[in-house]
Amino acid sequence: MLATGCATSGPSERLGTLSADLLIRGGTVYPGGAEPFGGDVAISDDRIIAVGPSLQIAAKRVIDASGMIIAPGFIDPHTHMQPWLTSAEAHTRVLEPFLLQGVTTAFIGNDGGGPIEVGALLDSASARPVGVNYAVFTGFGTIRSKVIGNARQTPTDGELAKEQALVHKAMCEGAIGISTGLFYAPQSFSKTDEVIALAAVAGAMGGIYDTHLRDESNYNIGLSAAVDEAIRIARESGIAVHISHIKALGVDVQGSAPEIVGKIEAARAEGLAITASQYPWSASGTSLVASLVPLWAQDGGRIAMVERFDDAQQTERLRAGIADNLRRRGGAGALLIVEGDWSGQRLREVAEALSTDPVTVAVTIIRRADPAVISFNMDEADIAAFMRQPWVMTGSDASPKHPRTYGSFARKYDLYTRQERILSLQQFIDSSSATTADFFHLEGRGHLRPGAFADVVIFNPEAYSSLATYQNPDVPATGVRTVIVNGRIAVDDGKVTGLAAGRALRHQPPAGSCD
Ligand SMILES: [Zn+2]
């Protein structure tokens, strides 16, 4: 009965007859979803074969983990790393920024942008090996564009059936669920009923609904109503709902985290499966246009937008809209430009340098380009209130020009766990591994226990931290000693080995649902 040996019951006599490929010895083991203890982890091939104090197991290699934390490899449910994972460059596909934080599994296809051809994306890992495991959401935005285009309209019954068929196809190809980004056009043109109809198809096949809410601020229906919508989707479609990068964005909704938490707690008490992820930064990453130009003025794309800038009839309304968005996001001092001519400067500094006002500067820049910006729009009290919830998982929303790609997990540990003590170490680890694996049904992942896949991180609790900053985002984290992915050593003594041991994680729909 070795395979079912309990982590805390001590080693069985018969473990002495086992031999392992790898023995991690003498660390503090956080098994994921359970209390820590001093002990060892033994690995053979791609599996953990034993976990417990003082394992008597011979091994080809022993890793001394004294003073170290041993935890399940971290799982990131919201990233934009598809270009990295499918890159022609083998080195890029290793996903060094993730491995050096101990992240061994990443999800892609979030915000409604996932593919319909999920099978092809999952298959690509066999031709082009990747450094971490990955799972794929199909995307509402992709499906809606394909069936009814990008215009503001409601699908006919026939179109809705086509959309549902595409969700079904993607689920049959192994999608972990369907993602939406209801804030973004053309998804923003959808009514809730359409979303429910598609979510129901994914839910019936064991998929999860992952959503960037229709509003994280007060741009349209407001954050509170957007959370109500997500809850309604859970209730009426029967699907498990995951709110991506939960936040209260902008001065008008700052302070509302307790109300939002209350709503979600009430829905969970009702029996609905609702969770969220969060990146541990007070700034989001976006572009100058997306952050400031009113949606009506973006309608029709960039050329139409610039024409509106040239139209004297519309100038006043446009400037007023930009000024209001600037106010909502905390003023010109809260926008850091991180691309192009003014990279490294706040919008306020650029305005001062040019002796003009921030709205005029924004219009001048936007006429020429649309640089990436960092938008400081969250309040620390809200961040802490969300983070404390046991249903809030760590996610990076990893994307270029923002330090969250290289530093989210390390920062959540160093800043919010070690320094600020918002979380205990076990809460940090569980919210970065077991909670995520369990909610998304990642079988055999997220826990250190016999029979599980050997995805393991060993880090130094005194050193694990993010070195990435808003000014200098592409700096790897420090303090991770060893990372094991499917039993293979991906980080050894703090250095990436280059082994690409990740796997495509293919969701298995219920038997008969794809016949
Ligand atoms: Zn998003």
Please give the pLDDT value at position 18.
76
Whole-number Å distance, alpha carbon 234 to ligand 1 midpoint, is 19
How far apart, in whole angstroms, are the C-alpha atoms of residue 251 and residue 326? Answer: 10
Three-state SS at 160? helix
Pairing of strands 103-108, 240-243: unpaired
> At a CB cut-off of 8 Å and minimum separation 6, what does 178 contact?
114, 137, 138, 139, 140, 167, 170, 198, 199, 202, 207, 209, 210
Please give the pLDDT value at position 2.
36
Per-residue pLDDT tens digits for 106-142:
999 999 999 999 999 999 999 999 999 999 999 999 9
> At a CB cut-off of 8 Å and minimum separation 6, what does 89 contact?
none
How far from 194 is each of 214, 220, 384, 471, 513, CA to CA, in Å?
A: 14, 18, 34, 41, 22
Residues that place a CB less than 5 A from ion ligand 1: 111, 212
Whole-number Å distance, alpha carbon 182 to ligand 1 midpoint, is 9
> At a CB cut-off of 8 Å and minimum separation 6, what does 271 contact?
none
Whole-number Å distance, alpha carbon 309 to ligand 1 midpoint, is 28
Please give the pLDDT value at position 515.
87
Whole-number Å distance, alpha carbon 242 to ligand 1 midpoint, is 12
Whole-number Å distance, alpha carbon 211 to ligand 1 midpoint, is 8
Please give the pLDDT value at position 337.
97
Residue 293 near residue 363, CB atoms below 8 Å:
no
Whole-number Å distance, alpha carbon 56 to ligand 1 midpoint, is 47
Whole-number Å distance, alpha carbon 170 to ligand 1 midpoint, is 21
Whole-number Å distance, alpha carbon 371 to ligand 1 midpoint, is 18
Please give the pLDDT value at position 277.
98
Please give the pLDDT value at position 299.
82
- Tokens for 40? 């060892």
- Tokens for 450? 């016999």
Whole-number Å distance, alpha carbon 245 to ligand 1 midpoint, is 7
Whole-number Å distance, alpha carbon 105 to ligand 1 midpoint, is 18
Whole-number Å distance, alpha carbon 297 to ligand 1 midpoint, is 21
Burial category of 482 from C-beta neighbours within 10 Å (exposed 0-12, middle 13-18, buried 19 and up)? buried
Whole-number Å distance, alpha carbon 52 to ligand 1 midpoint, is 39
Whole-number Å distance, alpha carbon 183 to ligand 1 midpoint, is 9
Please give the pLDDT value at position 11.
43
Q: Which amino acid, 479? A: G
Whole-number Å distance, alpha carbon 127 to ligand 1 midpoint, is 29
Whole-number Å distance, alpha carbon 195 to ligand 1 midpoint, is 17
How far from 361 is each of 349, 358, 365, 452, CA to CA, in Å?
A: 10, 5, 6, 55
- Tokens for 215? 């509003």
Whole-number Å distance, alpha carbon 353 to ligand 1 midpoint, is 33
Q: Taking Cα atoms as reference points, which of 211, 252, 249 lies closest to residue 232? A: 211
Whole-number Å distance, alpha carbon 181 to ligand 1 midpoint, is 6
Residue 481 near residue 68, CB atoms below 8 Å:
yes
How far from 59 is each of 22, 25, 42, 192, CA to CA, in Å?
A: 5, 11, 8, 56
| pLDDT in single tens digits along all 515 residues of the chain | 333 334 444 444 445 567 999 999 999 999 999 999 999 999 999 999 999 999 999 999 999 999 999 999 999 999 999 999 999 999 999 999 999 999 999 999 999 999 999 999 999 999 999 999 999 999 999 999 999 998 889 999 999 999 999 999 999 999 999 999 999 988 999 999 999 999 999 999 999 999 999 999 999 999 999 999 999 999 999 999 999 999 999 999 999 999 999 999 999 999 999 999 999 999 999 999 999 999 899 888 899 999 999 999 999 999 999 999 999 999 999 999 999 999 999 999 999 999 999 999 999 999 999 999 999 999 999 999 999 999 999 999 999 999 999 999 999 999 999 999 999 999 999 999 999 999 999 999 999 999 999 999 999 999 999 999 999 999 999 999 999 999 999 999 999 999 999 999 999 999 999 98
Whole-number Å distance, alpha carbon 244 to ligand 1 midpoint, is 6
Whole-number Å distance, alpha carbon 5 to ligand 1 midpoint, is 41
Q: Which element (helix H / strand E) includes 203?
A: helix 192-204
Whole-number Å distance, alpha carbon 80 to ligand 1 midpoint, is 9
Whole-number Å distance, alpha carbon 176 to ligand 1 midpoint, is 17
Whole-number Å distance, alpha carbon 313 to ligand 1 midpoint, is 34
Torsion angles phi and psi, residue 128, rounded to 5: -130, 90
Please give the pLDDT value at position 17.
64
CB count, 10 Å around CB of 191? 10
Q: What is the residue-wise DSSP string for 313-372? A: HHHHHHHHHHHHHHHHTT-GGGEEE-SSTTTT-BHHHHHHHTTS-HHHHHHHHHHH---E
Whole-number Å distance, alpha carbon 397 to ligand 1 midpoint, is 7
Whole-number Å distance, alpha carbon 108 to ligand 1 midpoint, is 11
Whole-number Å distance, alpha carbon 276 to ligand 1 midpoint, is 12
Whole-number Å distance, alpha carbon 46 to ligand 1 midpoint, is 33
Whole-number Å distance, alpha carbon 11 to ligand 1 midpoint, is 45
